[in-house]
């Protein structure tokens, strides 16, 4: 998630996974879970729910201008 810039830091992604705030295709995941193109990630963090479909896995770190090439944002809602 940090390589795709869904979250800012790897440590935040790990803590979110450990707390059950990250779902991959509807199931809670551990931080080490492999993600593939076509997978749906749902993250509940900082009062927001983000749901996106992974379209491509980057080979390395990506810039802000390139992040939209790797996933499609499906839902972005504020939690109640």
Task: Report pLDDT digits (tens) over 52-65.
Answer: 999 998 888 888 88
pLDDT of residue 1: 65
Beta strands in 1-80 (DSSP E): 22-24, 27-28, 40-45, 48-54, 71-78
pLDDT of residue 18: 94
**Looking at domain 10-78, which of 3.10.290.10, 1.10.3720.10, 3.40.50.1400, 3.30.450.20 is its CATH number?**
3.10.290.10
- pLDDT bucket at 32, cuts 50 / 70 / 90: confident
- pLDDT bucket at 2, cuts 50 / 70 / 90: low
Choose the weakest-confidence range: 10-14, 16-20, 57-61.
Answer: 57-61
């Amino acid at each position: 998630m940090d390589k795709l810039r869904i979250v800012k830091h790897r440590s935040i992604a790990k803590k979110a996974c450990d707390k059950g705030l990250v779902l991959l295709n509807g199931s809670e995941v551990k931080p080490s879970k492999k993600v593939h193109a076509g997978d749906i990630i749902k993250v509940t963090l900082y009062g927001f729910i983000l749901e996106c479909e992974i379209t491509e896995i980057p080979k390395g770190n990506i810039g802000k201008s390139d992040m939209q090439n790797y996933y499609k944002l499906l839902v972005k809602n504020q939690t109640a």
